[in-house]
Amino acid sequence: MSNWWTYLAFLALAACGLTADQDVLTILRQQSGIGSFTGLLEQDGDLVDILNQGTFSVIVPDDQAMSDFIANNPNITSDANAVRALLQYHIANGTHPSATFGLQPLFVPTLLTDTNYTNVTGGQVVELSTDNSQPAVISGVKAVSRVQEAVSDHRDTYAGVVRKNDLIQWQQDIFYLGGLIHIVDSVLTIPLSFPATITKAGLTDLIALLNKGGWLNPSSPAVTIVNTLSDLTVFAPNSSQFGASFTGWDGLSATDLLSIFKYSISQRNVQYSSEFKNNSKVPTLDGISATMTEVNNGFYVDASHITTRDYITSNGVLQLLDSPLNPNTTNSRPFSGHISSSPSSDGGSGGLSAAAGAGIGIALGVLILGGALIVVLYIRTKRRRRAGMGDVQRLDGESRERVIYHSDADGPPPTYELETKSVVDGGRGGTRTHVFDLQHPPNPPSPLEIDGIERSRINITIEGSPPRHLGFQARY
Ligand SMILES: *[C@@H]1O[C@H](CO)[C@@H](O)[C@H](O)[C@H]1NC(C)=O
Ligand SMILES: *[C@@H]1O[C@H](CO)[C@@H](O)[C@H](O)[C@H]1NC(C)=O
Ligand SMILES: *[C@@H]1O[C@H](CO)[C@@H](O)[C@H](O)[C@H]1NC(C)=O
Ligand SMILES: *[C@@H]1O[C@H](CO)[C@@H](O)[C@H](O)[C@H]1NC(C)=O
Ligand SMILES: *[C@@H]1O[C@H](CO)[C@@H](O)[C@H](O)[C@H]1NC(C)=O
Ligand SMILES: *[C@@H]1O[C@H](CO)[C@@H](O)[C@H](O)[C@H]1NC(C)=O
Ligand SMILES: *[C@@H]1O[C@H](CO)[C@@H](O)[C@H](O)[C@H]1NC(C)=O
């Protein structure tokens, strides 16, 4: 959790940066260590225009990542379509601060829509998540690209010597005119077809099962289905019980087998884990629906548990189960033992469970973060308006803004108040201390604040039930 707040503070730092109004290439060129990606982007004027006109999160592999990628794909730079697809896949729609990664499953469409690479309506997606609690972008075959830390070792070498003392300073969220830039440590993998994904991911039990069904035969309709249809969700097991030694399908006709195959695939709204819902119907290619159920934070399709989520593929997603689906058992549900072990039947307990408490904490965090984003936009607009006034000390002093954040379309929008204070210690040129407070009126007492000496520390206070208060402060 503490990292989380650090990111929030970075957001605040970025909000105060004077760079947010500049175009994407200007900002990219100011960063060291990403010249390789920037160079490719510069050659694609259309893409640069789109970036400057919309709201995007640009995922930028650093130079080391690019040179590793080019070493493994030496012909890429001579294939203009491939370069373009690669760039497009690194541009996600909307602004997504790294602090929001991993709070909940998040699959964001990118600009990659070329049907040579993807058949996903609205653009191929990236998953914004965390890896060992670091923000990360997950792409094809679950490739992990970690968002770079604020400070990273300079990886350039000179005559074979790593210059350890040169540090590249990167922020996790860099603002440009149209959105945010995240620098990552590896190039994203454009998702592959289902068969290629299963092979690359080493799902050998699943391959054995597909073979049992006769679906690897190039003349099988199954091959056409997975290679040509768009927006598919495949639910399939990769379990030794249902691998090479499985005999449960012996004697079934080709029609029955195909029916099992079609019942394992859903089309249209791709069922990434962000779309999982308790008690929801999953329409299948077999013409009947399976049922998704949530038990103890686990999701089931009919009675099969989803064990590994979200292998993004060129035309959808693969969700791994612990057992195969069957259209004859469409009414089966998770083993009732799972349900009765849920503690919820024990009513009248006094406090919140730890999980519920954490849930509320996160919800509050998201709410406040949403507010913070609005604040960022507000500050940006305000800065633009004031730009001509030559008001050097414009952030000094105090201000109070009202921020309305719509968390729920039905209920009345809660109003948050933003208070900002800015103090210059030791006269002009000294350290400036900025304090941002977001609060839900009526105003609670003044928050705890950082003592005046420490250089970098984040102090967060959330006080009790309403009125609640969150304060943070950045010194730089
Ligand atoms: C890459 O380019 C070289 C030289 O043009 C060619 O010989 C080789 O077959 C290409 N490799 C691939 C995988 O296309
Ligand atoms: C980005 O998302 C918005 C909202 O979903 C949508 O209206 C817009 O068309 C998308 N932009 C691109 C370039 O895909
Ligand atoms: C798809 O690939 C083919 C062959 O490489 C190419 O001719 C075609 O222009 C590509 N389609 C798109 C939309 O880029
Ligand atoms: C799939 O099955 C193979 C063979 O049992 C195993 O090595 C691999 O770890 C499994 N992968 C997943 C993600 O379940
Ligand atoms: C997308 O669908 C078309 C038409 O079905 C097919 O020819 C193409 O190979 C598919 N592309 C991908 C990447 O799956
Ligand atoms: C479903 O049950 C029917 C009747 O018992 C049987 O003939 C058929 O093979 C079963 N289908 C599958 C896919 O197991
Ligand atoms: C899912 O729905 C079932 C049936 O309505 C209910 O018994 C169960 O508690 C729900 N699970 C969760 C996690 O809400």
**Residue 370, pLDDT score:** 43
Residue 223 lies in a domain: yes
Residue 348 lies in a domain: no
Q: Are residues 37 and 162 in the same domain?
A: yes
CATH, residue 104 = 2.30.180.10
Q: Concatenated DSSP letters for 355-395?
A: HHHHHHHHHHHHHHHHHHHHHHHHHHHHHHHHGGG--TTTT
**Residue 145, pLDDT score:** 97
In this structure, what token pair is assigned to residue 71?
A: 């070493």
Contacts 24+ apart (CB under 8 A), 29-33: 31/170, 31/174, 31/181, 31/183, 32/168, 33/62, 33/63, 33/64, 33/154, 33/155, 33/156, 33/168, 33/170, 33/183
Residue 84 lies in a domain: yes
Pocket test for ligand 4, best of 142, 204, 309 (most atoms within 8 A of CB): 204
Ligand with smallest separation from the Cα of 118: 5
Model pLDDT for residues 177-222, shown as the tens digit of each residue? 889 999 999 999 999 999 999 999 999 999 999 999 999 999 999 9
Q: Are residues 210 and 282 in the same domain?
A: yes
Residue 189 lies in a domain: no
Query: 307 near 322, Cβ under 8 Å?
Result: yes
Query: 268 near 234, Cβ under 8 Å?
Result: no
Query: 407 near 370, Cβ under 8 Å?
Result: yes
Q: Are residues 155 and 209 in the same domain?
A: no
**Residue 392, pLDDT score:** 30
Q: Are residues 316 and 371 in the same domain?
A: no
**Cβ of 294 less than 6 Å from ligand 7:** yes
**Cβ of 279 less than 6 Å from ligand 7:** yes
387 pLDDT above the threshold of 90: no
Out of 304, 339, 374, pick the residue that ends a domain.
Answer: 339
Q: Which residue has the higher pLDDT, 405 or 81?
A: 81
CA distance 308 to 9: 33
Q: Can you give the pTM of this predicted structure?
A: 0.71
Q: Concatenated DSSP letters for 411-434?
A: SPPPEEEEEEEEEETTSTTS-EEE
Ligand 2 mean position, distance from CA 110 (Å): 9
Model pLDDT for residues 305-323, shown as the tens digit of each residue? 999 999 999 999 999 999 9
Ligand 2 mean position, distance from CA 95 (Å): 11
Provide the domain count of the chain. Answer: 3
**Cβ of 278 less than 6 Å from ligand 7:** yes
Residue 346 lies in a domain: no
**Residue 473, pLDDT score:** 52
Residue 344 lies in a domain: no
CA distance 24 to 30: 10
Span of 21-35, 38-52, 156-170, 239-253 with lowest mean pLDDT: 156-170
Q: What residues have CB less than 8 Å from 62, skipping those under 6 apart?
A: 33, 34, 37, 148, 155, 183, 184, 185
Q: Are residues 245 and 329 in the same domain?
A: yes
Is the preceding omega at residue 442 within 30 degrees of 0, hence cis?
A: yes
CA distance 205 to 242: 7
Q: Are residues 69 and 33 in the same domain?
A: yes
**Cβ of 307 less than 6 Å from ligand 2:** no
**Residue 448, pLDDT score:** 39
**Please, what sign has the CA dihedral across residues 163, 164, 169, 170?**
positive
Q: Are residues 28 and 167 in the same domain?
A: yes
Residue 158 lies in a domain: yes
Out of 339, 366, 386, pick the residue that ends a domain.
Answer: 339
Ligand 4 mean position, distance from CA 204 (Å): 6
Model pLDDT for residues 74-127, shown as the tens digit of each residue? 999 899 999 999 999 999 999 999 999 999 999 999 999 999 999 999 999 999
Q: Are residues 53 and 150 in the same domain?
A: yes
Q: What residues have CB less than 8 Å from 356, skipping those under 6 apart?
A: none
Residue 349 lies in a domain: no
Q: Are residues 179 and 198 in the same domain?
A: no
Q: Are residues 12 and 155 in the same domain?
A: yes
Ligand 1 mean position, distance from CA 70 (Å): 13
Q: Are residues 157 and 210 in the same domain?
A: no
The residue range of the domain holding 436 is 354-475
Q: Which of helix, strand or coil describes residue 59? A: strand
Out of 308, 339, 370, pick the residue that ends a domain.
Answer: 339
Q: Are residues 180 and 90 in the same domain?
A: yes
